Amino acid sequence: MRQPGQFACGAAVLFMAVTCLHASLKRNPSELRAQNGSTPEQSRKAQVPPSGGVIRAATNEVLVPVTVEDKRGELVLDLSQSDFHVFDDGTEQPIDHWDLGGDALAVALVVETSDHVQSILPTIHDTGSLFSETVMGFGGKAEVISYDNGVNVALPFTTDHDAVEKSIEKLDTGGTEMHLYDGMAQAVLDLKHQPSNLHRVMVVIGESRDLNSKTTLVQTVRDAVS
């Protein structure tokens, strides 16, 4: 998935943040999922911070993305699960799930439309085709959410690429506030209502700060993983 570069907006920086909300959002946390081979890991090795204290963390899900190329640098796409072996400290681990990738996406595009981004609004408009063809992709769904003094679902989830592009092209600036976290919270809520067989993704285009949101970033992250 290609990410557009960063844009300068006065003294602020416009950024694009991509947050994957995996299909496991609605699944039991004990259910294991991996991509292109995985192994359940009962615990991670202890990490010792500078203070000398010991932090221990455990996980029941390990994702192992794999890309295989031949001698000419071309992708090898005819491999099977039996072609891969995963080891942990020299001990081979079972592969719980195998996936060649290419699953359809449900993408929530969250765009700042405050006066702070007015100067680069034409650039945002030009990302419509890039978003629909590269990010949304074939077989995917997308919605467009704008935020400034409030949050507006400019376009609910749809598979219509043209509708997505037009919705992005019609975005206009207005308010002076930046309800970034409220916009993200709306995206999380909408993504949770999408089919679990889709990889759920949030794409945020906006300044890296929030102004006057009712929702906090901590709460938004908690809702995304709960």
Q: What total of structural domains would you count in the chain?
A: 2
Distance CA 99, CA 10 (A): 43
How many Cα atoms occupy the beta-carbon half-sphere of 19 within 13 Å? Answer: 19
Give the residue, 80 or 77, on which the prediction is more confident: 80
Which pLDDT score, from 0 to 100, does residue 50 have?
A: 58
Which pLDDT score, from 0 to 100, does residue 181 have?
A: 97
pLDDT at 46 over 60: no
Q: The domain containing residue 194 runs over which residues? A: 7-26+102-225
What are 186-199's pLDDT values in tens digits?
999 999 999 988 88
pLDDT at 60 over 80: no
Smallest CA-to-CA distance from 184 within 155, 156, 151 is with: 151
Which pLDDT score, from 0 to 100, does residue 28 have?
A: 41
Give the residue, 103 or 71, on which the prediction is more confident: 71
Distance CA 115, CA 178 (A): 9
Domain boundary among 45, 69, 99: 99
CB 34 within 8 A of CB 95: yes
Which pLDDT score, from 0 to 100, does residue 2 have?
A: 37
What CATH number does residue 203 fall under? 3.40.50.410
Same domain (yes/no): 83, 111: no
Same domain (yes/no): 130, 180: yes
pLDDT at 65 over 70: yes
Distance CA 193, CA 223 (A): 13
Which pLDDT score, from 0 to 100, does residue 168 have?
A: 97
Q: What is the mean pLDDT of the segment spanning 54-82?
A: 83
pLDDT at 23 over 80: no
pLDDT at 102 over 90: no
- Structural domain includes residue 74: yes
* Rg of the chain, C-alpha, whole Å: 20
Which tokens go with 58? 């455990």
pLDDT at 17 over 60: no
pLDDT at 47 over 70: no
What are 105-129's pLDDT values in tens digits?
999 999 999 999 999 999 999 999 8
CB 16 within 8 A of CB 205: yes
Give the residue, 16 or 80, on which the prediction is more confident: 80
How many Cα atoms occupy the beta-carbon half-sphere of 56 within 13 Å? Answer: 2
Q: Work out the mean pLDDT of the chain and round it to a whole number.
A: 79
- Structural domain includes residue 31: no
Q: What is the pLDDT confidence band of residue 27, given thresholds at 50, 70 and 90?
A: very low
- Structural domain includes residue 1: no
Give the residue, 58 or 82, on which the prediction is more confident: 82
Which pLDDT score, from 0 to 100, does residue 204 have?
A: 95
Same domain (yes/no): 115, 160: yes
Low-confidence winner among 88-102, 139-153, 182-196 (lowest mean pLDDT): 88-102
Q: What is the mean pLDDT of the segment spanning 138-147?
A: 92
CA dihedral 181, 185, 186, 188 (to 10 degrees): 140
Distance CA 135, CA 79 (A): 25
Same domain (yes/no): 136, 152: yes
- Structural domain includes residue 2: no
CB 109 within 8 A of CB 203: yes
Which tokens go with 13? 């920086």
